[in-house]
Structure 1
Amino acid sequence: MIDLAVLHGIVGEQHVLTGDAAAPYLSDWRGRYIGAALAVVRPGSTAEFAALVRLCADAGVPVVPQGGNTGLCGGATPDASGRAVLLSTQRLNRIRAIDRDNDTMDVEAGCVLQEVQQAAHEVGRLFPLSLGSEGSCTVGGNLATNAGGTQVLRYGTMRELTLGLEVVTAQGDIWHGLRGLRKDNTGYDLRDLYIGSEGTLGIITAATLKLYPLPVARCTALLALSSIEDAIRTLTLARQGFGASLTGFELMAGNCLQAVQRCFPAQQLPFDAVSAALPWFALLELSDSESEARARERFETVLGEAIEAGCVRDAVIAGSLAQSRALWHLRESIPLAERELGKCIKHDISIPVSRMAAFVRDTNQALQQAFPGVQHVIFGHLGDGNLHYNVAHGEHGSESDLLARQDAVFEVVHDRVHAVGGSISAEHGVGQLKRDALSRYKDPVELALMHRVKRALDPLGIMNPDRVLPPAAI
């Protein structure tokens, strides 16, 4: 046990929260996980984080790091024991430096993603990570889960967007690893080890991020499609026609966009009734560094080829930045519509693009056989094979009945993901939601190596315990 007065001495009494003041930090934003903590502490510097971790290590007290608390797998929610100290990065929110010549910026873990994007834009640069939760998620959480988003196709995940890290280890030491180097071959890549580890090995407190030139032109189109096979054929044409300029290719089932229109009537599909009733839609974006005219010509040429080939039934091309934002807003509103309609069983999976259509067809059939009437809510980043394959209760089902079957639904979906060589977690992390499933789908040698890394870096097991790794195997 730790005396709260000692915590007050490190960060100040106003930054140690208990009781009602701590409650907002103890539940995930979907309300699926609710925990307890000895205290919620908001350090304001890396040195304070280090002092707090040393204190917890000496006392054998678990540490749970938390950023914007926008996660979907319960990775930042403490358990119900009330033993843990939750360390929030809320106050660790400075942009330390921007180097335009090196195209890098040093930011602290509590920086909100949208603020990082804006800071880069103000100096004529682009930080390309883009998520629906970018107005509230933080860089630390993005790093902890190796976030992807809508522009992975061109720029990669957070792992590819990060050059260096500053980390507080499980012993309370500080690894000063902020480096703006594209090449550094001086040993093991600790950066990649901490990214995606969800706070189970240490706490990322700052990062050196890559910046890119602002695109001169962007072209966006919403496509109406008859099948996933047509979406894949269109993606292939876009890759061939756009090359590295292809920024995004988002797939959305028709019922997802219908839900957006029901929940948010101001948002309507820009198609006639026939096209709006098609089962699939795709959002396609090209970014060009040369000229608006060149981008538009390439864009229209490729779309024309897709229409002539019969891949695309109808298309709407944004004629302005405002129209482009409106099309993206449709896509980004799908998770919000899901939330309005009730809790569902979420799957964040990665599938080889070539097997995507067969996976969706076969898994839909298997779920309907096992759980008649469930609704399939399918959307995601087709360009990099990341699908949000979600399952909702149907018209005659209930939220509670669906959630009671969660483990059985997971097994049906994850078994088929595994069978096609996919992954059960693409960008949301593992947290506590998928922790126990790793034993079923991970290679035993791979899992054993992960356990060894955990024991080596966190021998006391205090860093975000019972997350990511199945507890029985630790």
Structure 2
Amino acid sequence: MTYDQPPALHPADAAFADSLSAQLPQDTIRKTEPRHIEEPRGRWQGSSQFIALPRNTADVATILRACHDARVGVVPLGGGTGLVGGQIAPDGAPLLLSLERMTAIRDIRPSENAMTVEAGAILVDVQEAAQDVQRLFPLSLASQGSARIGGLLSTNAGGINTLRYGNARDLVLGLEAVLPDGQIWHGLKRLRKDNTGYDLRHLLIGAEGTLGVITAASLKLFARPAATGTAFLATPSPTSALQLLGLARDMLGDSVSAFELIHRQGFDFLSETLPDIRQPWDTPPEWSILIELGTGPAIDPARALEDLFAAALEQGLSDDGVIAQSAQQSQAFWDVREHIPEANRRIGAVSSHDISLPLDEIAGFIPQAKAALAKIGDFRINCFGHLGDGNLHFNVFPQRGGRREDHAHLREAIKTCVHDITHALGGSVSAEHGVGRLKTGDLERYGDRAKLSAMRAIKGALDPHGIMNPGAVIPR
């Protein structure tokens, strides 16, 4: 069976909830609350009436087996921070499945640079557990205080340290997961090499809950940098920012852990909506770079950043900069970067875009996309993101005093404009947020035909009844 014509699904109604409750410990099945069926941007409202809150992997297996047999849809719910609607099903009344009770740090081995955690563990708690044994788990993003490991792996989250440490999938040694029919895959090996057939680990990571439920993961740990350094550097243009990135890599090598591009519009939005956030500039430059280093004991990061700025000044790549003089000031710099999405939310984007491009295409993309959008309407554009790995958040807003609702009729044209240019330049229309329900049409429009065919074949083989996160990634 392929996934083109999956069987119809039944709702998780009261009768099904009662039947499932009888197979599980008390209080595993509950009525949903508003927080379970809402998402951060308010674009979808879920239809689920019931949520399952298992306490262990055996419970998850019981739940999926029952849903498989009854043809009831299941929507895995992590921390609810996803931005493409993958955790929200607006129709069909599927069963929500949250692993928020499964938060244990099962094992931590600093000598192996490995730890095993359950999928409901919150990212910041995983980071702190690693820190307690003088190790680093480097996945880091603005929602780390609520995002859960299972959701982060299911969406292959990126974040600020991808340049040095890779995406979420690059930080995983093994997985434990429950497949759609209730089988448990015991894949929690702590191996760096394991060539024994298809790699189910990488199949499930990034699948957004459409092929099964990740219940635990063995994660890679790293030595903590002996010292860190953070700086804001002004730069004339995206072209010079990319040249500055090359210079930083030549001078500092792998010690560069983050390299963020920020346009002046981001600082203006902060001033407009969050004036209490202390900014590094009295008058923001047109473009800025936020760079962070993590160095060994032999290198002073502040001195290294001073040397970088001096070289950049000599080459015309920067004419101003602020180097953090303390951990508190470094955190203040990151607070600026991490509050830009909140400022965006308060302004109200007409259309937001999470794209990636080959590094050599970024400098050309930005003016090309701005010129194309100017033909559609008069907008403000906030372009920022993880320049080191080619990931831009290219978001379109009304002019000051305008409302996004007034431009809603242009949203599809704006998105298509940005995504067409991105695709033509060899980029991706989903860099780190996933496909969810928001971008299923984009996947059909821009996706490789052979890849889409293989994806449908895999989905049909592992989930023949189409119960797992129906409507996400691959449209029914």
Q: Judging changes above 3 Å, is the alpha-carbon distance between structure 1 residues 204 and 73 closer, same or farther for their aligned structure 2 residues?
A: same
The residue that corresponds to 1:299 in the other structure is: 305
1:29-44 to structure 2, matched below 5 A, reads: 29-44=40-55
Indicate if the aligned counterparts of 1:63 and 1:87 stay in contact, CA closer than 8 A.
yes
Q: Write the letter of the residue equivalent to 2:195.
A: N
Indicate if the aligned counterparts of 2:79 and 2:147 stay in contact, CA closer than 8 A.
yes
Mapped to 2, the partners of 1:462 and 1:272 lie a distance apart of 54
The residue that corresponds to 1:228 in the other structure is: 238
Mapped to 1, the partners of 2:319 and 2:407 lie a distance apart of 35
Does the residue aligned with 1:3 lie in a helix, a strand or coil?
Answer: helix
Mapped to 1, the partners of 2:113 and 2:139 lie a distance apart of 15
Mapped to 2, the partners of 1:250 and 1:205 lie a distance apart of 32
Mapped to 2, the partners of 1:272 and 1:310 lie a distance apart of 21
% same residue: 44
For residue 331 of structure 1, the aligned residue among 333, 337, 344 is 337
The residue that corresponds to 1:316 in the other structure is: 322
Q: Judging changes above 3 Å, is the alpha-carbon distance between structure 1 residues 404 and 17 closer, same or farther for their aligned structure 2 residues?
A: farther
Indicate if the aligned counterparts of 1:41 and 1:85 stay in contact, CA closer than 8 A.
yes
Mapped to 1, the partners of 2:308 and 2:382 lie a distance apart of 29
**Correspondence 1:364 to 2:337:** no
The residue that corresponds to 2:65 in the other structure is: 54
Pairwise CA distance, 1:410: 1.3
For residue 113 of structure 1, the aligned residue among 106, 111, 123 is 123
Pairwise CA distance, 1:3: 2.6
Residues 383-416 of structure 1: CA deviation (Å, up to 9, x unaligned): 0000011111223542213333222111101000
**Structure 2 residue ranges without an equivalent (≥5):** 1-9
The residue that corresponds to 1:201 in the other structure is: 211
**Correspondence 1:427 to 2:427:** no
Mapped to 2, the partners of 1:343 and 1:237 lie a distance apart of 34
For residue 262 of structure 2, the aligned residue among 252, 258, 261 is 252
**RCO comparison, higher one (Cα < 8 Å, 6+):** 2
Q: Write the letter of the residue equivalent to 1:218.
A: T
Q: Write the letter of the residue equivalent to 1:433.
A: L
**Correspondence 1:174 to 2:184:** yes
**Structure 1 residue ranges without an equivalent (≥5):** none
Q: Write the letter of the residue equivalent to 1:17.
A: R
1:364-383 to structure 2, matched below 5 A, reads: 364-371=370-377, 373-383=378-388
Mapped to 2, the partners of 1:374 and 1:16 lie a distance apart of 47
Pairwise CA distance, 1:199: 0.3
Indicate if the aligned counterparts of 2:305 and 2:323 stay in contact, CA closer than 8 A.
no
Mapped to 1, the partners of 2:274 and 2:445 lie a distance apart of 40
Residues 282-314 of structure 1: CA deviation (Å, up to 9, x unaligned): 101111022453x33332212210111111121
Aligned residues: 463
Mapped to 2, the partners of 1:107 and 1:402 lie a distance apart of 44
The residue that corresponds to 1:66 in the other structure is: 77
Pairwise CA distance, 1:179: 1.0
Indicate if the aligned counterparts of 2:236 and 2:286 stay in contact, CA closer than 8 A.
yes
Q: Write the letter of the residue equivalent to 2:149.
A: V
Indicate if the aligned counterparts of 1:147 and 1:427 stay in contact, CA closer than 8 A.
yes
Mapped to 1, the partners of 2:231 and 2:240 lie a distance apart of 16
What is the TM-score with the length of structure 2 in the denominator?
0.95
Deviates more, 1:73-82 or 1:124-133: 73-82
The residue that corresponds to 1:285 in the other structure is: 292
**Correspondence 1:393 to 2:364:** no
The residue that corresponds to 1:470 in the other structure is: 475
For residue 414 of structure 2, the aligned residue among 403, 406, 409 is 409
Mapped to 2, the partners of 1:255 and 1:223 lie a distance apart of 16
Q: Write the letter of the residue equivalent to 1:229.
A: T
Indicate if the aligned counterparts of 1:338 and 1:344 stay in contact, CA closer than 8 A.
no
Indicate if the aligned counterparts of 2:173 and 2:191 stay in contact, CA closer than 8 A.
yes
Mapped to 2, the partners of 1:396 and 1:362 lie a distance apart of 26
For residue 447 of structure 1, the aligned residue among 452, 470, 476 is 452
The residue that corresponds to 2:6 in the other structure is: none
Mapped to 1, the partners of 2:139 and 2:24 lie a distance apart of 32
Deviates more, 1:152-161 or 1:333-342: 333-342
Does the residue aligned with 2:85 lie in a helix, a strand or coil?
Answer: coil
Pairwise CA distance, 1:44: 1.1
Residues 27-69 of structure 1: CA deviation (Å, up to 9, x unaligned): 1122111121141111111111110000000100001001000
Indicate if the aligned counterparts of 2:180 and 2:211 stay in contact, CA closer than 8 A.
yes
When the two chains are superposed, the root-mean-square deviation of aligned CA atoms in Å is 1.4
Mapped to 2, the partners of 1:90 and 1:403 lie a distance apart of 36
Q: Judging changes above 3 Å, is the alpha-carbon distance between structure 1 residues 343 and 390 closer, same or farther for their aligned structure 2 residues?
A: closer
